[in-house]
Chains A and B, each alone.
Chain A
Amino acid sequence: MSSPLLEVKDLQVTVGEEQKVLLDGLNLTIYPGETHVLMGHNGAGKSTLMSALMGDPRYTVTRGQIIFKGQDVTHEPADVRAKLGMFLSFQTPEEIPGITLENFLRTAQNAITGKPVKVFAFRKELAQQMEALGMDESYADRYLNVGFSGGEKKKSEILQLLMLKPSLALLDETDSGLDVDAVKTVAQGVRAYHNKDNALIIITHNAKILEGLHVDYVHVLDDAHIVRTGDGSLVNEIIEEGFRALKEDEAK
């Protein structure tokens, strides 16, 4: 078996001066090629985990470790993690006026690879990926996420995923707020990205975005830690019966 891509060991995460504990004693190991799904009711800590993995400065890791590609990144800033191959598709992507989507992607690609971007090849790939995602090419010249609809923002995140080719993609409710067709397009993008060398952690409340993906593990978060881990069938079980039924099962 290959080495783990990500190891989360006994992670405790707090927020604010009062150090409110949002995650506690969380363990997770992910290998290349795997797809993990995080589920849980609102406020269970799913997005906090994604943010903590990516190095969001609002959160503090007060115990435990995040090992990515064998390197301890627990206290590294987001750019170091991104350069190592981590990517977060934001639930609410920021609007950045003054920077076009194309320029931003080129700058990000250059920052991550440390190599100058070959403009012609970059543009060709960008056009192809945008077409695949059903994005009008004019979006490349628009300021990053400024005036984009909710759906276009999510597509812009997937476009970044496809262009930056990270080893680990964290998708934080990338399917939320999308119409049926847009979810299909985004799911297509996620499938196009995924291969045996990279891994996915997906937060979702429905199964649409998972269509065509083999889900290896489903983790249910509750009360700041993972309360249950199962295979892909757990997704439908939860969607059909809800988290309460799951808790009742556990109580029995």
Chain B
Amino acid sequence: MNDLNMNRLPVPTWNQCGVNSAPKAAALPAVPADDWGEVNLAFTLPAGVGEAEEDFTTFAESGMGAETDAFLLGNANVRSALTVAEGVEVNDPVQFEVTLDAAHPTALSVFSLDAKAHSSVTLVQVVRGDAENGVAASLTRIRTGEGAHVKLVQIQLLGSKARRWNAVAVEEGPGAKVEQVRVELGGSLSACGTRAMLGTPKSEYDLDAVYFGGEDAVLDYNDVSVHTAKDTLCEMHTAGVLTGNADKILRGTIDFRRGAKRGVGHESEDVLLFSPHARNRTAPLILCGEEEVEGQHAASIGRLDEAKLYYLRSRGLSEAQARRLMVDARFAPAIEKIPLEALREEVRAEAARRLDETC
């Protein structure tokens, strides 16, 4: 039953498909009687990145929806509002790392980044650790000025007990580009939603997302690129692996509205199923309110078939190596965009470990 006002498909489809919004299992955590407690947080702010005097007062909603945004804004126990001045190119990434453990089981974060015109910066957010009923929830809001370039890299390496909500909202200036890399490898729940507003000419939003769902994990994603200006571009590509009893929904929407002349949007998803009990649902949606636009979607869902497995094994790869190779191949486009080598290797190793453990 899907009755949450979260990760809502912009235009609902048949209710019985169960994809119109996030399932009950994705319901936001109950607010504790006292407070959310301390957060185990580490961060690095490189030169060129400043703290904003005040946070955004208004902002477009995230892909998870206004209610989720309001909940996070109202409950956050970590807040950070950053700014990069006009024309400043920040070479080293801004890093935020949250670790859940028994003493720090919750982290509700709100990150804001105001990248002024012609600036560039990379923001790396890592969530790791585990805790019984652990909560790692975040709202990230990015506003870019003209010609600015922001790369948002989100790595989720939680254990199997914690739950994760990850809301992202993007507003772009003319000729600006926001690239998002989203790696979701753990958690009993992984609910994410990005909404990019391409409201100025030649603005661009790119998403490279990967997920791994094992055991009884619930994965629920809603990514939306809203095009209202000329010559806007989005590339949203997701790859995932489902094992065990994992249940996943991905909604991907490219919304060409009036004014989005010559807008281009491509979205795809490639899912590999390693268990007959895993469930995959993919809901690609392209809305056209303007002529002369190009929208494409593609989805492939498959198992590692016996013939391919035999072919790989005939070249010396064990069954586990063959499986890993197939997963590596799917995850590589996203993982290769992680700017920190140690983190890149950690993600590769974690993906391989989780795969070996569950398959």
A78 and B325 within 8 A (CB): no
CA distance A93 to B314 in the complex (A): 11
Q: Which residues of A contact B313 (CB under 8 A)?
A: 55, 77-79, 82
A112 and B311 within 8 A (CB): no
B326 and A98 within 8 A (CB): yes
CA distance A77 to B306 in the complex (A): 13
Stretch binding the partner chain, chosen from A18-26, A103-111, A201-209: A103-111
B317-336: CB near A (< 8 Å → 1, else 0) gives 11101000110111010000
User: Is B316 part of the contact surface with A, judged by Cβ < 8 Å?
Assistant: yes
User: Is A97 part of the contact surface with B, judged by Cβ < 8 Å?
Assistant: yes
CA distance A108 to B326 in the complex (A): 13
A99 and B325 within 8 A (CB): yes
B329 and A98 within 8 A (CB): yes
User: Is A94 part of the contact surface with B, judged by Cβ < 8 Å?
Assistant: yes
In the complex, which of the residues A79, A93, A94, A96 contacts B316, with contact meaning CB atoms closer than 8 Å? A79
In the complex, which of the residues B306, B311, B321 contacts A93, with contact meaning CB atoms closer than 8 Å? B311
Q: Interface residues, chain A, CB within 8 Å of chain B?
A: 54-58, 77-79, 81-83, 87-88, 90, 93-94, 96-99, 104, 107-108, 111-112, 160, 164
CB distance from A18 to the nearest CB of B (A): 19
With CB as the reference atom, state the residue of chain B lying closest to A100. Answer: B329
A to B CB contacts below 8 Å, 22 in the list? A54-B314, A57-B306, A58-B306, A82-B313, A82-B314, A82-B315, A87-B314, A90-B311, A94-B307, A94-B308, A96-B312, A97-B329, A98-B270, A98-B330, A98-B332, A107-B325, A108-B316, A111-B318, A111-B321, A112-B315, A164-B315, A164-B316
For the complex with contacts A79-B316, A112-B316, 13 further pairs of A-B residues with Cβ separation under 8 Å are: A55-B313, A57-B306, A78-B313, A79-B314, A82-B313, A82-B314, A94-B308, A96-B308, A96-B312, A98-B330, A99-B328, A112-B315, A164-B316
CB distance from B167 to the nearest CB of A (A): 29
Q: Which residues of A contact B270 (CB under 8 A)?
A: 98
User: Is B56 part of the contact surface with A, judged by Cβ < 8 Å?
Assistant: no
